[in-house]
Amino acid sequence: MTKGTDLAVPTVFRAEGIGKSYPGVRANDDISFAVRPGEIHALLGENGAGKSTLVKMIYGLVRPDEGRMFLLDAPHAPQDPRAARAAGVAMVFQHFSLFDALTVAENIALGMENPPPRRELAARITQVSHDFGLPLNPARRVVTLSAGERQRVEIIRCLLQNPRLLIMDEPTSVLTPQEAELLFATLRKLAAQGTAILYISHKLEEIRAHCDRATILRHGRVVESCDPRAHSARDLAAMMVGGQMRQIDRSGRQAGEVLLEVQGLSLPAPDAEGTALKDIALTLRAGEILGIGGVAGNGQEELLAALSGEVASRPGTVTLEGADLSGKGPEPRRVAGLLAAPEDRLGHAAVPDFSLIENTLLTAGARKGLVRRGLIDHGAARDYALAVIRDFDVRTPGPHVAARALSGGNLQKFVIGREVMQAPRVLVVNQPTWGVDAGAAAAVRQSLLDLARQGAGVIVISQDLDELLELSDRFCALNEGRLSPPVPTEGLTLDRIGLMLGGAHGMEEARI
Partner 1 sequence: MMIDPLSVFLLLLGASTPILFAALGELVVERAGVLNLGVEGMMITGALAGFGAAYSTGNPFLGFLVAACAGAAISMLFAALTQVFLANQVASGLALTLFGLGLAAMLGKPFEGVRAPSMPAGPLRINWIVWLGLVMVPLVWWFLNRTRSGLILRAVGENHEAAHALGYNIRLTRLAAIAFGGAMAGVGGAFISIATVLQWTEGMTAGAGWIALAIVVFSNWTAPGVLAGAWLFGGVTVLQLRLQAAGVAVPVQLLSMAPYLATIIVLVAISARQKFSRRAGTGAPGSLGTNFHALR
Q: What is the footprint of partner 1 within residues 117-136 (CB under 8 A)? A: none
Measuring CA to CA, which residue among 171, 166, 158, 168 is closest to residue 112?
A: 158
Q: Which of 30, 36, 38, 62 binds partner 1 (CB under 8 A)?
A: 62
Residues 273-312 that bind partner 1 (CB under 8 A): 273
Q: How far is the CB of 110 from partner 1 (least distance, A)?
A: 5
**44 within 8 A of 50, measured Cβ to Cβ:** no
Size of residue set near partner 1 by CB under 8 A: 31
C-alpha dihedral, 504 to 346 to 349 to 484, nearest 10°: 0
Note whether 98 binds partner 1 by CB under 8 A.
yes
Which letter, b or e, does each residue of 241-257 get, where b requires 16 or more Cβ atoms within 10 Å of its Cβ? beeebeeeeeeebeeee
Stretch near partner 1 under the rule CB under 8 A, chosen from 138-146, 300-308, 406-414, 438-446: 138-146
One of 1, 102, 423, 499 touching partner 1 (CB under 8 A): 102
Residue 484 per-residue DSSP state? P
233/209 Cα distance (integer angstroms): 10
- Interface segment toward partner 1; rule CB under 8 A; list 141-149, 225-233, 301-309, 450-458: 141-149
Least Å from the CB of residue 133 to partner 1 = 25
For partner 1, the closer CB: 165 or 289: 165
Q: Does 480 bind partner 1 (CB under 8 A)?
A: no
Distance in Å, CB of 82 to partner 1, minimum: 4
- Choices 57-65, 291-299, 397-405, 481-489 (CB under 8 A): range interacting with partner 1: 57-65
194 by Cβ neighbours in 10 Å (0-12 / 13-18 / 19+) ranks as: exposed
Evaluated on CA atoms 290, 439, 352, 452, the torsion sign reads: positive
CA distances in angstroms from 406 to 24, 110, 173, 220, 403, listed in the order given: 15, 32, 21, 19, 6
The single-letter code of the amino acid at 165 is L
Among 3, 7, 25, 63, binds partner 1 (CB under 8 A): 63
Nearer to partner 1, 143 or 258 (CB): 143
CB 506 within 8 A of CB 147: no
Minimum CB–partner distance for residue 144 and partner 1 (Å): 6
Contacts of residue 242, defined as CB under 8 A and 6 or more positions apart, other chains included, come to 218, 223
Query: Within 13 Å of residue 70, how many CA atoms lie on the same side as its CB?
Result: 15
Q: Which of 37, 70, 96, 235 binds partner 1 (CB under 8 A)?
A: 96
Binding to partner 1 (CB under 8 A) within 241-280 occurs at 271-273
Provide, rounded to whole angstroms, the least separation between the CB of residue 273 and partner 1: 8
Minimum CB–partner distance for residue 148 and partner 1 (Å):
18
Mutual orientation of helices 177-192 and 147-159 as an angle, nearest 10°? 10
| β-bridge mates for residue 418, sequence order | none
Pick from 3, 10, 22, 116: which binds partner 1 (CB under 8 A)? Answer: 22
- For residue 143, the number of C-alpha atoms closer than 13 Å in the C-beta half-sphere is 6
Determine if 82 is a binding residue for partner 1 (CB under 8 A): yes
The residue from 8, 9, 74, 101 that contacts partner 1 (CB under 8 A) is 101
Among 16, 106, 310, 321, binds partner 1 (CB under 8 A): 106
In the complex, least distance from residue 61 CB atom to partner 1, rounded to whole angstroms: 7
CA 86 – CA 90 distance, rounded (Å): 9
Which CB atom, from 80 or from 508, has the smaller least distance to partner 1?
80
Among 80, 120, 205, 508, binds partner 1 (CB under 8 A): 80
- Least distance in Å: CB of 322 to partner 1? 37
Helix residue ranges per DSSP H, 132-173: 147-159
Which residues lie near partner 1 (CB under 8 A)? 22, 60-63, 80-85, 93, 95-102, 106, 109-111, 115, 141, 143-144, 271-273
